Homo-oligomer: A and B are copies of this chain.
């Protein structure tokens, strides 16, 4: 029974898909929801690569959390980074951007902090090879891609020019594949006739992947088709390779036979792995919960932390039955957690059914007119896959007022190969120090 004077306090850590869907599920409950995020916006992460490649603007893939939740009168948004949980006192400690601490007492805690880029212990790679998890990452990558062509145009010699025209992507999951396709399209179409001393179409795109296949999660048949599409686009695949070193001028990889090869490349982008932000470890310490190798929290079938029925973990940072880190899993688990709290508030005593993920399919965009889509037994590739991709993304962007703008951006990009959002700063020569150590000091919360 809720107390009618102070409503039950639900603190949601993270305003991504999981956090947003949890908050929405509580819309009509007499609870006081606090959504804590270190970013003020909700990010439509599946389209982040399109922001990086200049098709969409930041505003088209990110909306202020409090604008999205404006009509949710029981929700308060707090811009802060969760740093610790006191599970006995039921208190979250968070840090405000400019310094200063916020303490948030809760009756229910929903953890939806997501994952961040992992460099597998090589955090020094981050300075040379940005990841693709935040809006800042996307803008940094946008700058690096377009600046590379500018630098190639004024290169002092052929060797330097070739290095600027070589792009290396580490990681053959959807993000790496999508970025590789984007760079080849930019080189082959977008920049057509813009340069006088080089042909952008000569740009090399190298994709390094540790396993035997790109898009391994889509199964062997689709992975094979995706690899063929990429090769057709001119992407050079290096499967079964591990990156052993990255610096400002290139990277070194080792293949399965132990041979190491050095590749000159002034642009290296990293999408190879993820790890849980430090707040996950803090939660594990506070509750005795177990973490998997990447730091995800192992949860019960009802998404609660063992022995702490008031704490639920959702989205990418949740470890349950090997569910993948997909937007759809985040949405469904977030909504499940929100509903569970609502049922508890409503006084339902029946034990809830375990969380069951309904696989609505997954999609990866390779290039204009090419995508792979997997929905249960249905496998789509090529142009059919691309149409399905378009339909799915239009449907999911519905909640966004930016849909019209996105359609406009896509129309321009697909019809003319030009990109409306190429503007970026070219003056920075290196990643700012704060970014370089980002993965260590600024976890998402």
Contact = CB atoms under 8 A, between A and B. Distances in A.
A154 B58 contact: no
Nearest to A59: B421
Q: How many copies does the complex hold?
A: 2
Interface in A314-330: none
Contacts of A146: 40, 64
A151 interface: yes
A427 B156 CA distance: 37
Nearest to A192: B70
Interface stretch (A205-213, A217-225, A404-412): A404-412
A100 B412 CA distance: 36
Nearest to A422: B64
Contacts of A195: 66
Given A97-B151, A154-B102, A423 B194 contact: no
B100 A423 contact: no
A99 B429 contact: yes
Contacts of A116: none
B442 A59 contact: no
Contacts of A58: 57, 421, 423-424
A423 B154 contact: no
Most buried by B among A63, A98, A153, A193: A98
B421 A70 contact: no
A432 interface: yes
Contacts of A193: 70-71
Interface stretch (A76-84, A234-242, A387-395): A76-84
Contacts of A102: 154
B423 A79 contact: no
8 contacts: A39-B426, A60-B420, A71-B193, A76-B197, A79-B153, A97-B150, A99-B429, A135-B423
